[in-house]
Copies of this chain bind each other. A is one copy, B any other.
């Protein structure tokens, strides 16, 4: 059966995350996509693998999913047919035939997430769906110092659970960068890339940046909290709506 890879964008606001839960547990991205593929396959169930299991409220600019189809379809036609069935908050940006053995999650080499945090005094109406909000001026130097702490290979057990079948909580962060958007609002924009992420890990990283920026934790305290491998040691995670899965990389062979 031909194997396909699709790149997806979605507004996570009205989804209960990526992953299908038990029957009737709410609208998920995987569930909506699988229902469309089932219609395309004349009623036969199609199982979809997603690169990142985004939580409820988390958005995607470049999620990747893979699946097998009984029908052989040209990729452009597959994308068109899916978009004709999918709701406006979930779109296929691109479709391609995937090489044998490709799996959206297991084949991924790295993922890039972006978090936007509105730090203005009132939560901005035009940003509220796609930004977290902390109405406090953050110390920019401390935030940058805390972000640098996450670079490299660490055991991130203090920041999240592994969730899936891979039980290790070791991850390698290759990019951990803070930008400040000055207009129309002072917002923190955090970009983080790693070979993989634990559940709630990015939101916990941002929780750490906020604690450092507000002066609630020193960078030395955050370093100890990371080393503790204990979730109670780490500041609470930032809210989901500020987070977007930007890109998944698979290396030169299959991009």
- Which positions in A face B, CB cutoff 8 Å? 9-11, 59, 61, 79, 83, 88-93, 122-126, 128-130, 184, 244
Contact = CB atoms under 8 A, between A and B. Distances in A.
Given A61-B184, A184-B61, A9 B88 contact: no
One complex includes copies of this chain to the number of 2
A125 B9 contact: yes
Contacts of A93: 122
Most B CB within 10 A of own CB, among A88, A123, A126: A126
A88 B123 contact: yes
Contacts of A90: 125
A81 to B, nearest CB: 13
A83 to B, nearest CB: 6
Contacts of A88: 123, 125, 128
10 contacts: A9-B124, A9-B126, A11-B128, A59-B126, A88-B123, A89-B125, A91-B123, A91-B124, A92-B122, A126-B130
Given A9-B124, A11-B128, A61-B126, 8 more contacts: A61-B184, A79-B122, A88-B125, A89-B128, A91-B122, A91-B124, A126-B130, A129-B129
Contacts of A128: 11, 88-89
Nearest to A124: B9
Most B CB within 10 A of own CB, among A122, A128, A129: A122
Contacts of A184: 61
Contacts of A61: 126, 184
